[in-house]
Structure 1
Amino acid sequence: MKFIQSTHQDIDGIFQLYNYATTYQGEVGTLKWQGFERSMVEKTIDQHLQWQIMLDDELACVFTLTLNDPLIWEEKDKDPAIYIHRIATNPKFRGKHFVKHIVEWVKKYALENGKLYVRMDTGSGNERLNNYYISCGFNYLGVVKLKNTAGLPKHYQDGSFSLFEIKLS
């Protein structure tokens, strides 16, 4: 398992995994992604915040990091935190517990970059997913309804979201 930064040459593969993830979300939950702007992914690549996991020289999983997230985390965004977004797994590798591997990798990355928290969010109401994130080491902080969603992907426009956090020592 190898973690590498994504490049512009990886964009089609990233969107293929996003499409797989969106289909899967529709099968197992009530909230699913509603597509992402290509320019947003290009920007995260340019900022060196789009990552992928390679397994046997195949694209197995992708995820994005952000260094701030004020629309979702509001006042807590002032804390030195790193945020995980848009985890998508190649169906061929589903069940490999990539989130657990991502969390361990991001914890080290966060400490190396002076961050004290690792955070993430997901659509609320999926107890199975909430419990999985808790099993990955996150503390469940509860549900929020976002006040301002301007600039966020479409799936944030409606609904409420569960927040998760790991405090690093």
Structure 2
Amino acid sequence: MIRKGKIEDIEAIMKLTKACAKFMITNGIYQWNEHYPNPSAFENDIERNELYVLEHNGFVSGTIVISTLMDQEYMPIKWLTKNENNIYIHRLAIHPELQGKGYAQQLMAFAEKHAIENNYSSIRLDTFSQNKRNQKFYELRGYKRLGDIYFPKQSEHPFHCYELII
């Protein structure tokens, strides 16, 4: 079940994202660290009504942020659509024990359906350049890679930006 995230979910979400970070690090992917993601990011997402969680057997097992805010870092990218009426996906995560079972697909399908139902022009996101699995995931869903941005607190490596026209 996918539902809106609540403040009382933050602790479970942080356990989930820490498990994901640890899993990525053991696979040589240094995408998430002690700076990101952090509780205040999720609190802001909840405040803006943009955080969704996936519950599996009564536990928060996944998360996704569907935002209308364009981060400053995205400004230099030559997007396929105008910088208006777009949504941005952030912090998509599935607990490592449940990865590979289609839950990330479910969350992305939910976000894409939301975009269609609300007449957005496109969906934009970024994924870490060292995370080949995520790149393949988005490319198989039809997302086009457009350019790179950097988040120095996370990594010296770039993040690839993607867009899907709705």
**Structure 1: runs of 5+ lacking an equivalent:** none
Identity percentage of aligned residues = 22
TM-score by length of 2: 0.84
Flag the 1:129–1:38 CA change in 2: closer, same or farther, 3 A: closer
Shift of 1:4: 0.2
Cα distance in 2, alignment partners of residues 91 and 48 from structure 1: 26
| Corresponding residue for residue 65 of structure 1 | 66
Cα distance in 1, alignment partners of residues 138 and 94 from structure 2: 15
State how 1:1-169 maps to structure 2 within 5 Å.
2-34=1-33, 35-74=36-75, 76=79, 78-141=83-146, 143-146=147-150, 154-155=153-154, 158-168=156-166
Cα distance in 2, alignment partners of residues 92 and 127 from structure 1: 19
Cα distance in 1, alignment partners of residues 153 and 66 from structure 2: 18
Shift of 1:167: 0.6
Deviation per CA, 1:52-78: give whole Å up to 9, x if none.
Answer: 011222222111122122323216471
Flag the 1:79–1:100 CA change in 2: closer, same or farther, 3 A: same
Q: CA RMSD in A?
A: 2.1
Aligned length: 160
Q: Secondary structure at the match of 1:155?
A: coil
